Amino acid sequence: MRGSLPINRRTVFKLRQIGMATLGSVKINIFICGCVALTLLAVANRNRDGSSSLMGWTGDVALLDRSSSPGGRYAIVMNTWKRYDLLKKSISHYASCPRLESIHIVWSEPDPPSDSLKTFLNHVVQLNSRNGHQVELVFDVNKEDSLNNRFKEIKDLKTDAVFSIDDDVIFPCSSVEFAFTVWQSAPDAMVGYVPRMHWVDQTKGKDKYIYGGWWSVWWSGTYSMVLSKAAFFHKKYLKLYTDEMPASIKEFITRNRNCEDIAMSFLVANATGAPPIWVKGKIFEIGSTGISSLGGHSEKRTQCVNKFVAEFGRMPLESTSMKAVDSRNVWFW
């Protein structure tokens, strides 16, 4: 009996080890199966709301507020210049967004839009308008070629919300609707997808600043501007830009063909004393590289910042690290 006791203990110990290992393996398998199930559920939900169709551009969006009144809608103001294929793609896409009231194309070319272009775009808008609401399409034709035209006051604008967008930038309708919802919670702010920043140039003193692009935002985690190539703001800022923006700044922008977006950021920050709101969203740039890819771009933007500081008499931009994220579409936020 005594001789067999150690053997039995060893046997029991080994059996216990085997049991623990088996139980651990079962737990791991259950965990893995749970992860797979959650992934499939997330994919099914994403496919159900249509947000992954056609490069993620389109899809029906489940909205908390489907108000048909102009107050529950927004207008797109789209800047364009001799890129008719891109314009057609962008208009075709955004016309399908649920709470869109109207599209205003900022036209600054020397020749007016052709009848064939207007006919095509009107047909596309009529075809893609949803929920029984016909989106209005308007060409805002300007005599002068100036980037300031994108911020001219629109007298008969029915909505308070303006979504300023370039013709070569596309966001899924679900992202646009989310940004619009964020703007509704802070209608005095600029709410956009493309953050930029500024900081004091320590080599030149406290009144001189440096413009920071995307990598500066990524590195520091802060921003003080959202660019108007993709941003919501209140229509009152169009009137304010038209009537109150210093003529010297407008002339500088026209002459240099740059920095109208920085000027609008200055104007809104000067009026509110608050930072903008950066919204996380997936962007599709369907055009070729723009002026930001040219040499010396950051230096020119820095020059604009310091020019505008001098004109405003102070630095109105406010920095923040806040970012709005639609938690329904991400696991970690």
Q: Which residue has the tokens 């310091």?
A: 306
Structural contact between residues 300 and 311, judged by C-beta atoms closer than 8 angstroms:
no
Sheet containing strand 225-226, edge to edge, reads 209-212, 195-200, 225-226
Q: For residues 77 and 325, what is the distance between their CA atoms, to the nearest angstrom?
A: 24
User: Could you give the 3-state DSSP secondary structure of residue 145?
Assistant: coil
Q: Which of 111, 115, 261, 326 is catalytic?
A: 261
Count of Cβ atoms closer than 10 Å to residue 159 Cβ? 21
The Cα diameter of the chain in Å comes to 109
> CB within 8 A of 86, min separation 6: which ones?
80, 167, 168, 286, 287
Q: CB under 8 Å to 123, separation ≥6 — which residues?
A: none
CA-closest candidate to residue 149, choices 77, 215, 231, 244: 77
261 flagged as catalytic? yes
Residues identified as active-site: 261
